[in-house]
C-alpha cells in the first residue's frame, strides 16, 4: 500500500516541501506519496475530519506538514501536542502514530520543527552565541523564532510588526518561554536590525520591501563592523530585497530554504518513525532536490 503525506496551506503551489520529502523517501526506499494540498483556515476542520477517518480506516496517512495560515489552527485538530509546540500553541508538523495507551487507533500528534529549522540554519551560518536579536513579524513563525533564539542563548528580542495589535502569537511565546520581547512598529526596525547580531524576518514575500530601502541607509551609516546574520524565511522570490541589501553590506544571509530543509529533516524523522536513526545522507539528497549546497549534518 502506498502511504500518504502532504503539506497543507493557502496558498501552497509555491511550496518546495514536496521536492524535499519526495527526495528523502526515494532515498530511503519508502513508498510514501507526498503532495501539496490547498486548505484554508475555515476549511481545516472538515479536511482534518476526513483525514482522521481515512487514517483510522486504512492506516495510509503518515504525516502532514503545516504552513501558513494553519499553524495555530491545527492545534485544535490533533489529539496531542508535544515538545515546544505545546508551549507555543503553534505547530507545523502532524504525525500519525499508534495510540500510546494501547488502543488500536491512530493518534494525530503535532510538533513544531520550525524551531529546530531556525536553530540549525543559524548555527550553520555561524550566528554568534547569545546574540542580540530582532524579529520581523509577530505571527506563528515569529513564535518559533523566539523559541529558537532562547535555544541560541539570546536574553531578549525586539519584535517589529506591521500591526502591534496582531502580535498575539509572539507575545504568547514570550510569556510561555520567559523570553522578554518588545513589540514595536515595523517602521522603526531598520536601525535596530542594522545593529543586531541576528535578524529573523518572518514576513511574507515582499512585505519587507519598503523596509529594505530604510535598512540600506541604516547599514550604510553603521560605523563599525559588518552586519550580523539575516535569516529571511521567505524564499520565493529570491533573493528578497531585504536579503539583497544585507548581502551588499557584507552581512551573512541565510535564505528561508535553509530553514525549510532543516525543519523538513525533522519531519521526515517523525513521518518515517526512524527518529535519530535517520541516515545522515538523507539531507544530501534533500539539498540536491532544491538546488541547495550539501552540508555536514
DSSP state letter for 65: E
Q: How far is CA 86 from CA 72, 120, 155, 172, 276, in A?
A: 11, 20, 21, 11, 21
Would residue 71 show up in a list of annotated catalytic residues for this protein?
Answer: yes
The single residue listed with the C-alpha cell 505547530 is 91
DSSP reduced 3-state for 15: coil
CA–CA dist 266, 116 (Å, integer): 8
Tally the C-alpha atoms within 13 A of residue 230's C-alpha that lie toward its C-beta. 33
How much helix, strand and coil, in percent to the nearest 5, is found in the chain?
A: 45, 20, 35
Q: How far apart are CA 78 and CA 110, in angstroms?
A: 7
Q: Which of 16, 71, 150, 222 is catalytic?
A: 71
Contact predicate 32/60, CB 8 Å: no
How far is the C-alpha of 43 from the C-alpha of 74, rounded, in Å?
A: 11
Cα Rg of the chain (Å, integer): 19
Using CA atoms, how far apart are residues 152 and 200, in angstroms rounded to an integer?
A: 13
Check if the beta carbon of residue 234 is closer than 8 Å to that of residue 205.
yes
HSE (side-chain half, CA atoms, 13 Å) at 246: 30
The alpha carbon of residue 268 and the mean position of all alpha carbons in its chain are separated, in whole angstroms, by 14
**Rounded-to-10 torsion of CA 111, 114, 117, 119:** -100
Catalytic residue positions, numbered: 71
Amino acid at each position: 500500500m502506498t502511504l500518504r503525506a502532504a503539506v497543507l496551506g493557502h496558498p501552497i503551489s509555491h511550496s518546495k516541501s514536496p521536492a524535499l520529502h519526495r527526495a528523502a523517501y526515494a532515498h530511503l526506499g519508502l513508498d510514501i506519496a507526498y503532495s501539496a494540498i490547498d486548505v484554508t483556515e475555515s476549511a481545516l476542520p472538515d479536511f482534518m475530519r476526513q483525514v482522521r477517518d481515512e487514517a483510522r480506516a486504512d492506516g495510509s496517512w503518515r504525516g502532514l506538514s503545516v504552513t501558513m495560515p494553519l499553524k495555530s489552527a491545527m492545534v485544535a485538530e490533533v489529539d496531542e501536542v508535544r515538545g515546544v509546540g505545546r508551549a507555543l500553541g503553534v505547530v507545523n508538523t502532524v504525525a500519525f502514530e499508534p495510540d500510546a495507551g494501547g488502543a488500536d487507533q491512530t493518534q494525530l500528534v503535532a510538533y513544531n520543527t520550525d524551531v529546530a529549522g531556525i536553530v540549525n540554519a543559524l548555527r550553520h551560518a555561524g550566528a554568534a552565541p547569545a546574540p542580540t536579536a530582532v524579529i520581523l513579524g509577530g505571527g506563528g513563525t515569529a513564535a518559533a523564532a523566539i523559541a529558537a533564539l532562547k535555544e541560541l542563548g539570546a536574553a531578549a528580542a525586539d519584535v517589529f510588526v506591521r500591526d502591534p495589535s496582531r502580535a498575539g502569537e509572539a507575545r504568547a511565546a514570550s510569556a510561555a518561554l520567559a523570553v522578554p520581547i518588545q513589540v514595536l512598529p515595523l517602521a522603526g526596525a531598520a536601525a535596530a536590525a542594522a545593529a543586531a547580531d541576528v535578524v529573523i524576518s518572518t514576513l511574507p514575500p515582499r512585505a519587507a520591501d519598503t523596509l529594505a530601502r530604510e535598512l540600506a541607509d541604516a547599514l550604510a551609516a553603521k560605523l563599525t563592523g559588518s552586519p550580523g546574520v539575516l535569516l529571511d524565511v521567505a524564499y520565493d522570490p529570491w533573493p528578497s530585497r531585504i536579503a539583497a541589501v544585507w548581502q551588499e553590506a557584507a552581512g551573512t544571509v541565510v535564505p528561508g530554504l535553509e530553514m525549510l530543509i532543516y525543519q523538513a529533516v525533522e519531519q521526515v524523522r517523525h513521518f518515517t518513525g526512524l527518529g535519530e536513526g535517520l541516515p545522515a545522507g538523507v539531507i544530501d539528497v534533500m539539498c540536491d532536490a532544491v538546488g541547495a549546497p550539501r552540508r555536514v549534518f
